[in-house]
Amino acid sequence: MIETSTQSPNDIANINDEPMSNDSIFDASEISFYNSIKADLNKLVMNPSDKSIIHILDFSRSI
Amino acid sequence: MSFKEFTDQKLVNLYINGKESALAELISRHKSRIYTSIYLLVKDEYLAEDIFQDTFIKVIKTLKAGRYNEEGKFLPWVLRIGHNLVIDHFRREKRKPTITNSDGFDIFDVIGVYDESMEEKMVKQQTHDDLKKLIHLLPSEQKEVLIMRHYGELSFKEIADLTDVSINTALGRMRYALNNLRKMMVSKELTLKN
């Protein structure tokens, strides 16, 4: 199914660039919920191993 | 002026012109977002490491071949490469992350897959692992948008371009992701410690 946007280009531009609190598509409870889990989402951030990064940099130097 | 003050574009230009340390700064700056985005999709640290490395190998080859256009932003471009490699991996493995074609998906359709021991464990475990498990339960398209928006900090337009859908679809998937996460948390009587 092809979805078409019913919003004007200005609405879409606003949605693209501004925080979710300004997106008219999200209601207050959805924005509030997202804000409530942001800190826990941030706790899921992980990093690659130093070994991976060394491999990448070694590769770059080799070519 | 240290590299940390340089824009991504400036670092890319320095790297293309032979400054290897500029690549190190780019990786350092964006590694968390890129790696986390890949890991939450594939759910395997070792696989995520491999795909992370493969992503940057492609980045390096493109930059050194002079094929990078300066119009796109660096991070969305790298995330797109990583995302495509994840898709390639699942195609090779002939499995899909979770249910596809998930617009309108209701989490209660699959929530019954929990067995009692997992349910008890989740209720008792008041840690951020709970949220990770819930994210993994989301349909792949919804999980993708949530990951790209939160960890990749992409705009919905960038997410729509990356996943080849309309902006409305990307927005809708984000709504479904949030609502499904909320339903699961209520269902499992989960509260998260911030």
For chain A, the structural domain boundaries read 9-62
% of chain B exceeding 90 in pLDDT: 56
Encode pLDDT of B34-79 as tens digits: 999 999 999 899 999 999 999 999 999 999 999 998 666 899 999 9
Instruction: Say yes or no: A12 contacts chain B, CB-CB below 8 A.
Output: yes
Fold of B3-93: Rna Polymerase Sigma Factor; Chain: A (1.10.1740)
Q: Where are the domains of chain B?
A: 3-93, 107-187
Confidence of residue B131 (pLDDT cuts 50, 70, 90): confident
Which positions in chain B touch A33 (Cβ < 8 Å)? 178, 181-182
Q: How far apart are CA B42 and CA B4, in angstroms?
A: 30
CATH fold label, B107-187? Arc Repressor Mutant, subunit A (1.10.10)
Measured at the CA of B124, the angle between CA B118 and CA B127, to 5 degrees, comes to 100
The two three-digit tokens of residue B104, written as one number: 């309108």
Residue A10 has pLDDT above 70, yes or no: no
Distance from CA of A35 to the nearest CA of B (A): 11
Quick check: pTM over 0.80?
no
pLDDT band at A2 (very low <50, low <70, confident <90, very high): very low
Contact list, A59 vs chain B (CB under 8 Å): 56-57, 60
Vertex A56: Cα angle to A52 and A60 (nearest 5): 170
